[in-house]
Amino acid sequence: MNFEFSEDQNMLRDQAQNFLRAKSDSKAVRKILESDQHYDEALWKGMVELGWTGVTIPETYGGIGLGHLELCVIAEELGRTLAPTPFSSSVYLATEALLQFGSEEQKQAWLPKLAAGEVIGTVAVGEGTKTVTQQNMQVTARGGKLTGTKLPVADGDVANIAIVIAKDSDSAASLYLVELGGEGVTRSTVKTLDPTRSHAQIEFKGAAGELLGGAGEGWTQLEKLFDRAAILFAWEQVGGAEASMQMARDYAMGRYAFGRPIASFQAIKHKVADMYIAHTLARSNCYYGAWALSTNAPELPVAAATARVSATEAFHECSKENIQTHGGMGFTWEFDCHLFYRRSKLLSLNLGSLPRWKDMLVTRIEQSNLDHSSQ
Partner 1 sequence: MDFSDTPKEAEFRKQARAFLDANATPKSKATPRRDEKEADLIKRAKAWQKLKQENGWACLNWPKEYGGRGATPMELIIWGQEEAKYDVPTGPFAIGLGMCGPTVIAFAGEEQKKRYLPKMASGEEIWCQLFSEPAGGSDVANLRTRAVKDGEDWVVNGQKVWTSGAQYCDYGILLTRTDPNVPKHKGLTMFIVDMKAPGVEVKPIKQASGHSGFNEVYFADVRIPDDHRLGEVGDGWKVSIVTLMNERLAVGSAGGPDAGELLELAQTVELGEEPAIQNQAVREKIATWYCEQAGLKFTKLRVQSALSRGGTPGPENSITKIVSANKLQGIGNFGMDLMDMGGILVDEQPMEGQFQAAWMSAPGLRIAGGTDEILRNIIAERVMQMPGDIRVDKNVPFSEVPQGGKS
Nearer to partner 1, 123 or 360 (CB): 360
Residues 204-263 that bind partner 1 (CB under 8 A): 249, 252-253, 260-261, 263
Residue 152: cis peptide before it, omega within 30 degrees of 0: yes
Distance in Å, CB of 94 to partner 1, minimum: 26
**35 forms part of the interface with partner 1 (CB under 8 A):** no
361 binds partner 1 (CB under 8 A): yes
Cα(211)–Cα(213) distance, rounded to whole angstroms? Answer: 6
Answer yes or no whether residue 372 interacts with partner 1 by CB under 8 A.
yes
276 near partner 1, judged by CB under 8 A: yes
| Gap between the Cα atoms of 275 and 268, Å rounded | 11
Stretch that binds partner 1, among 116-124, 133-141, 215-223, 367-375 (CB under 8 A): 367-375
User: Site map for partner 1, 297-336, x if CB under 8 A?
Assistant: --------xx--xx--x-----------------------
Does 273 engage in binding with partner 1 (CB under 8 A)? yes
Q: Is 274 in the site for partner 1 (CB under 8 A)?
A: yes
Position 375 contacts partner 1 (CB under 8 A): yes
247: part of which helix (H) or strand (E)? helix 218-254
Q: Which residues have a Cβ under 8 Å from the Cβ of 260 and sit 6 or more positions away? A: none
Element containing residue 189 per DSSP (H, E): strand 185-190
Do 55 and 74 touch, CB atoms closer than 8 A? yes
Which range touches partner 1 (CB under 8 A), out of 45-53, 90-98, 177-185, 358-366? 358-366
Supply angle C-alpha 8, 227, 338, rounded to 5: 80
Burial of 217 (0-12, 13-18, 19+ CB in 10 A): middle
290 binds partner 1, rule: CB under 8 A: yes
**H or E, element range at 19:** helix 7-23
Q: CB of 74: closest distance to partner 1 in angstroms? A: 16
Return all residues near 221 (Cβ < 8 A) that are at least 6 apart: 97, 100, 101, 175, 212, 213, 214
Smaller CB separation from partner 1, 61 or 251: 251
- Give contact residues for partner 1 (rule: CB under 8 A): 1-5, 69, 249, 252-253, 260-261, 263-264, 266, 268-270, 272-274, 276-277, 280-282, 284-285, 287-288, 290-291, 294-295, 305-306, 309-310, 313, 355, 357-359, 361-362, 365-366, 372-375
